[in-house]
Amino acid sequence: MKCLVIGSSGQVATALARQAGSHEVIRTGRPQFDLADPTGIADLIGQIAPDIIVNAAAYTAVDKAEEEIAAARALNETGPAALARSAETLGVPFIHISTDYVFNGLGGAPYVEKAEVSPLNVYGQTKADGEQAVLAVNPAALIVRTSWVYAAEGHNFVRTMLRLAAERDALNVVDDQIGRPTEANALASALLTLGEHLKGGAPGGLLHVANSGEASWKDLAQAAISGAGLSTRVSGILTSDYPTPARRPGDTRLDLARAETEYGIILPDWQESLERCLEMMGVSGRRA
């Protein structure tokens, strides 16, 4: 299977290339291709002739999006819609990655795919609008919502916590936001499997894919720091104790039943995937 990935150096794009196996993964991104200005995407798709397209590019700076609204909308809504339209026109199955931040976190239970979206911030709103825009022009597209993605490389929460833990004796981390931490390699493997299903005629629509289990940000920080053998003390604080420009939802656990029953997708428990990520980083079990 030839997979064209939009996003050349992001966490998920990098993981897709790493997990390719017998598949051919071709990544494209700036400066060769800019999702904010997708002119020429149809020609690019025609030249590469992929079996599947995965859009792994997005504007993900949650707090900066509160001010950079136009940039967030270009990368999270209008760009993906243009991609989806070209994919539909050329008959190429299309996967678009979205986020748990389309929900307000007040549901009190894991969110199923058909749950009403109600984002609390600009990032979440542009991603929710992007979902609608993609499906409006390409109803067969698959929208994969995931959550709290991290990897052994790049800028992400786990790497930030390990860096801070190496510098400090104690950290305060938000403990009243709950979700499903998802490791990029585990997600990428699932995306390639989903690509095979779509290529074989499986339906699209909305789908939740994330590591199993649940955690708070404090839980994830503690597990990463302990797994790296660091002794930094981690204390939980409330969201209200750590104000940010963008509001964060409190409980965005995704219901994973559809992925399992319809596609056979079951990701490992988040702690298992975190351990593998720490091993890739070369910090698993080290001592302070």
Candidates 15, 18, 21; CA nearest to 1 is 21
Identify the three-state secondary structure at position 44.
helix
212: which DSSP letter? B
Are 250 and 239 in contact by the 8 Å Cβ rule? The answer is yes
Residue of 59, 101, 111, 123 with catalytic role: 123
Classify residue 108 as exposed, middle or buried by CB count within 10 Å of its CB (0-12, 13-18, 19+).
exposed
Decide if 101 is catalytic: no
The β-bridge relationship of strands 170-174 and 149-150 is unpaired
Classify residue 183 as exposed, middle or buried by CB count within 10 Å of its CB (0-12, 13-18, 19+).
buried
Q: How far is CA 261 from the centre of its chain?
A: 21
For the annotated catalytic residues, the residue numbers are 123
